[in-house]
Structures are given as C-alpha cells and as structure tokens.
Structure 1
Amino acid sequence: MTRSSLYDGGRLHPRHVRDRQFATVGFGRRGLDPAEVRRFLHRVALDLTVLHQDLALLSAENARVKRALRAWHGAGPERRRP
C-alpha cells in the first residue's frame, strides 16, 4: 500500500488498518516515524467519527420507519388505502 492511496481522501477500510506498514525512523534512532503514525491515527479517528455519525443517522431513520409502520398497521384497513 502506498501512502498516497491512504491519504488521498478515500474512505478508510479495515484492510488499510490491518495491512498498514509504517516507515522506520532514520539512522541512529529506533522505532516508527512518529509523524506518520500520528497522521494515520488522525485519519482513523476521522473515519470512525464519520461512521459513528452515519450509524446514528441510520438508527434514527430506522426508528422513524418502524414507528410509521406500527402506525400504519394500527390503522384500520379503511385508512390504509392511498
């Protein structure tokens, strides 16, 4: 996976998290590049925020449809005709 494919604005997928490889820091230091890790974690957080917002909207819409369906079933057959 290239850096551009992850940071180009597309939706983050679970495979991006599973397969992500971070560059190691330069000579004389050990570990991962902290700036790259922070950028990736920021991206994960943003995508999770969007997913949670989408989930909340869908849950609200689901509840609205269920209420409408219950009201429609509760109405007599004479009221169901369009």
Structure 2
Amino acid sequence: MTRGTDSDGTLPSRLHPSLVRDHKFPSARFGRRGLDPQEVRRFQHRVALEMATLHQEVARLTDENTRVKRVLRDWRSGRANQRQS
C-alpha cells in the first residue's frame, strides 16, 4: 500500500494538502528506473480535478456572500428608512 492511499490501494474520496505533500509514487515496473509516468499523470489529473472543484466552490461561495451582503445592506437601509418615518 502506498502512503496516502486507502487499504484497497485507491486514493481517498477527498484530497487534503497533507495527502498531496506526502504522496509517494510507486517505482516504475521492472527494468525501468524512476517513477511510473502513468501513475504520476493519474495523480496530477486527480489533483487538477480536485483543485478545479475547489475553485468552483470558492467562486460560488463568493457570489453567495455578495448576494447575502447586498440583501443585508438593503434590509438595514429599509429598517433605517422605517425609523425615520
């Protein structure tokens, strides 16, 4: 089992910074030196997908935060106008 993998050898469902930082790639097959290029590319693809998902979530939450702030500002403005009346 490679460090950072589940007991069945698969990657966990969510990537965490420590998993990316500590991931160990298996050695290449017999007769080759270094890391298995296919394994490295698969991990890079996984990291890229996770990062894309996180970027989309940050953008969604930023938009939601902007909407909530706008509604709160409008509500406060309406309350202030009611008090002045």
User: TM-score with structure 2 length normalisation?
Assistant: 0.79
> Once superposed, which parts of structure 1, at least 4 consecutive aligned residues long, lie more than 3 Å away?
none
Q: CA deviation at 1:11?
A: 1.1
Task: Please give the alpha-carbon distance, in whole angstroms, between the structure 1 residues aligned to 2:29 and 2:73.
Answer: 63
**Counterpart check, 1:65 vs 2:68:** yes
Task: Please give the alpha-carbon distance, in whole angstroms, between the structure 2 residues aligned to 1:63 and 1:42.
Answer: 32
Partner of 2:35: 32
- Counting matched residue pairs gives 76
Aligned-partner SS, 2:29 = coil
**Unaligned segments of structure 1, at least 5 residues:** none
User: TM-score with structure 1 length normalisation?
Assistant: 0.81
**Unaligned segments of structure 2, at least 5 residues:** none
User: Higher relative contact order by CA 8 Å / sep ≥ 6: 1 or 2?
Assistant: 1
How high is the sequence identity, in percent, across the aligned residues? 57
Partner of 1:46: 49
